[in-house]
Structure 1
Amino acid sequence: VIATDITPRRQAEEQAAAQAERAQTASRLITMGEMASSVAHELNQPLTAINNYCNGMISRIKDQQITEEAMLAALEKTSKQAQRAGQIIQRIRSFVKRSEPNRALSDIGTMVSEAVELAEIELRRRNVRLSYYVAARLPRLLVDPILIEQVLVNLMKNASESIDAADRPSPRRSVELRVVPRQVEGQDAVEFSVVDTGQGLAPEVLERLYEAFFSTKAEGMGIGLNLCRSIIESHSGRMEAENLYNGADITGCRFSFWLPVYQQPNEGAARSAEQTTRIPG
């Protein structure tokens, strides 16, 4: 009989487990710090909308130029943005806590409309035109719609800020949002892209663009983009950025991300079987 003292090994395992737990706790604290900054960044949009609606009502009431119907409509929009602010806090907190979004089959047109309505407030303030195109008959996506809408709002807001920073003249102050089908490694997907006419991004900025707390300006755009990428990747998608050129001159920037199309279990196998058994006429 050979006796082996496993005490040192057990102690080493316990020490390794304790170190792993401390590392996980430290990572969680860093993540929570990022979340706090991100929440402040994300809440800026609905709070700005609420402020604009309220100021608009105050001005029109003072001038006695508002009807009861118009006031009710403005109050409903204000209430909607207040509810959205609460949803943002809840969804981002849950996203960080679970690292998993609250998915549901969601209509792309509805998500785009909600995001455009919110982003237009900021773009109008900066005198930036917004156009958007959504391809027909796109499938619903299995996503958390609030999170995807926030990604779109952030990208459109950042685009308008880039145009402002470039001091573009009025004819060149435009942002375009496009949503089209795409194939990614043989898989059906939907691509969202936001194109601006801003100053573009320097190579060193492109390399560090998604790092937590990295920003090209004081408002902290890096927080928003870091969170955007995390949201898209949590939905099994990818986000990309590229400068647009006219010869050697940068004419703007294009941010895009794609999301996979949800397929019912065995849907692919059924489609394959259908193709296999079809007989040419």
Structure 2
Amino acid sequence: MKLDFIDRWRTHLIGLILSSMTIVIVIFLIWELLEYNLFSGLDIAALHVLYITRGIALSVVLTAWSVWFIMKYRRRYEEEQKKLAAQLYQAEKLTALGQLVSGVVHEINNPIGIMVSRLELMSDEAKNFGAPDGHLKDIEVVRKQASRIGAIAQNLLSFAKKTGAQYADLDLNQVVAATISLIDHEFKKKEIVLDCRLAPSLPAINGNFNQLQQVLLNLLSNARDALGNGNGSKPHARPAIRIATWKMPEENFVRLSVIDNGPGIKPESARRVFDPFYTTKPEGTGLGLSVSYGIIHEHGGNIVVANNGEKRACGTCFMVTLPVRKERR
């Protein structure tokens, strides 16, 4: 971190020196041109005053330029530090929650598994004995809620596990294609258009296929739910989700975006969407995006959310940035 700080300020200092030299050269050239055309007939005393004036003017310009240059990069550095502090704070919250739940998740899974299997058995037996439909519906309601508790426990377990993932060289486009094959039928039933725009010859990344697939499934599920509520979405637009991949120009990163044409996201939700247990959905657990946030940062990347345009009705955009695999020497 310290070396990175020194390298950046060394680069900024070189930029300041070179730009200052350019200003000096330009001012001297302009001055020589003016002196040749306008001041060639002046005596030595008048020229002496002009030279002093030139020196003062040059000093003022260079001082103003240096102050502006330094303040500009200082503000940029402070903004980067704030972003880094926010990311560290988020990571600390995720770590703390992972430590909190790791000791109890397994104890939850076992009884839930027994409950679900027994409820399924009860449902089959009730059907065989001709139980009233109301009783069957009650059993199904209890089974679904027990399964929901199990899903929450699985999300907590995924959240708590920070080590042990096997990483390999991956094609992000293959992760997208495999994920689409899992949910394509469901989205077609809901008449949601999936528009895939995958960059050809995408550089490989180093990561865990299942974890990245889990992230994309979470993002697509959130986009599907956003299109389903209809709050503020375009009344005549067919529900659609655009999935795109591309390489950042001149940078060793690839990007994945998931954009829906739903109602967009409120500023308050955008600020808290990656917080554990934060959800705006009645049936949501508030863990999917928190887990996704942790996975992406474990991969050395970043994930952000924003409205797709200046107005909320333009939809929501999730942007994932991942580092390209380093070439082996």
Fold equivalence (TM over 0.5): yes
**Residue number among 238, 256, 281 corresponding to 2:319 in the alignment:** 256
Contact 1:192 1:257 in 2 (8 A): yes
Alignment of 1:104-253 (within 5 A): 104-166=168-230, 168=233, 169=235, 171-183=237-249, 187-220=251-284, 222-245=286-309, 248=311, 250-253=313-316
Percent identity of equivalent pairs: 26
So what's the TM-score if we normalise by structure 1? 0.59
**Residue number among 20, 23, 29 corresponding to 2:100 in the alignment:** 29
Q: What's the secondary structure of 2:262's corresponding residue?
A: coil
Distance 1:144 1:30 in 2: 23
Equivalent pairs, count: 188
Distance 1:202 1:235, change over 3 A: same
Q: Looking at both structures, which has the greater relative contact order when contacts are Cα pairs under 8 Å and sequence separation is at least 6?
A: 1
Q: Which runs of 5+ in 1 are unaligned?
A: 1-23, 38-88, 267-281
Q: Comparing both structures, which one devotes a greater share of its residues to helix? A: 2
Contact 1:34 1:223 in 2 (8 A): no
Look at both structures and tell me which one has the larger radius of gyration over its CA atoms: 2
- 4+ runs of 1 displaced by more than 4 Å? 24-27, 31-37, 91-95, 167-170
Deviations for 1:79-119, whole angstroms, at most 9, x for unmatched residues? xxxxxxxxxx7x99587334353201112232111111112
Contact 1:127 1:173 in 2 (8 A): yes
Q: What is the CA distance between 1:197 and its match in structure 2?
A: 0.7
Deviations for 1:213-236, whole angstroms, at most 9, x for unmatched residues? 110112226311111111000000
For the aligned residues, what is the CA RMSD? 3.1
Distance 1:124 1:99, change over 3 A: same
So what's the TM-score if we normalise by structure 2? 0.51
Q: What is the CA distance between 1:190 and its match in structure 2?
A: 0.8
Q: What is the CA distance between 1:172 and its match in structure 2?
A: 2.9
Q: Which runs of 5+ in 2 are unaligned?
A: 1-94, 109-153
Q: What's the secondary structure of 1:227's corresponding residue?
A: helix
Distance 1:36 1:133 in 2: 43
Q: What's the secondary structure of 1:105's corresponding residue?
A: strand
Deviations for 1:175-227, whole angstroms, at most 9, x for unmatched residues? 000010015xx641110000101111111111111111110112226311111
